[in-house]
Homo-oligomer: A and B are copies of this chain.
Amino acid sequence: MKRSSNYNTKQREAILGYIISLSGAHVTAAQITEHFAKESVPIGRTTIYRHLDKLTRNGAVRRYTTDGISGACYQYINNSENCDTHLHLKCESCGELKHAECEMLRQIKRHVSDQHSFEVNPLKIVLYGKCEECLNSV
């Protein structure tokens, strides 16, 4: 993980602090902008995008391109978290993104590696479908 030279600016601290405070939840760039606008601490879009880009590239946050209209999602990576067993389930009905701890992820990774000569990056898997609530409410 390359630590690019970073100045300690108000904005950097605010953005990183906010993402960390979400404890793993996902946010879009727009949501971050909105959050700081509400706090009367407006931070320019540009700055937010540049920090997200930097944080993504040095591994502090992950970027998800979920199916949808509202742009990419970003998520802080807690290093103590066991990422190898972390699965994402996005409901196509209500749009909610759920997390699931799942041993099967390791099996998938091994299988795809053995059978398909492809090294899966388990951090970016998003499965689409329908969540329990939406299934029951039909």
In the complex, A11 has a CB within 8 A of chain B: no
Beta-carbon nearest neighbor of A66 in chain B: B65
In the complex, A89 has a CB within 8 A of chain B: yes
With A121-B128, A132-B118 already in contact, the answer to whether A89 and B112 are too (CB < 8 A) is yes
Q: State which size class the interface on A falls in.
A: 20 to 34
When the two chains form their complex, are residues A129 and B135 in contact, meaning their CB atoms are under 8 A apart? Answer: no
Q: Collect the chain B residues with CB atoms within 8 Å of residue A117's CB.
A: 131-132
When the two chains form their complex, are residues A118 and B130 in contact, meaning their CB atoms are under 8 A apart? Answer: yes
Beta-carbon nearest neighbor of A131 in chain B: B118
When the two chains form their complex, are residues B115 and A98 in contact, meaning their CB atoms are under 8 A apart? Answer: no
When the two chains form their complex, are residues B120 and A127 in contact, meaning their CB atoms are under 8 A apart? Answer: yes
The smallest beta-carbon distance between A44 and chain B, in angstroms, is 22
Stretch from A2-10, A17-25, A33-41, A100-108 that touches the partner: A100-108
Interface mask (A116-138 → B, CB under 8 Å = 1, otherwise 0): 11111100111111111001000
Bound-state CA distance A116–B124 (Å) is 18
Q: What 10 A-B pairs are tightest by C-beta distance, nearest first?
A: A117-B132, A120-B129, A65-B67, A124-B128, A121-B129, A119-B130, A119-B129, A89-B118, A100-B116, A121-B128
16 other contacts beyond A104-B111, A117-B132, A119-B129, with CB at 8 A cut-off? A65-B67, A65-B68, A89-B118, A91-B118, A92-B121, A98-B118, A102-B116, A104-B108, A108-B127, A112-B129, A117-B131, A118-B129, A120-B127, A121-B128, A125-B128, A126-B126
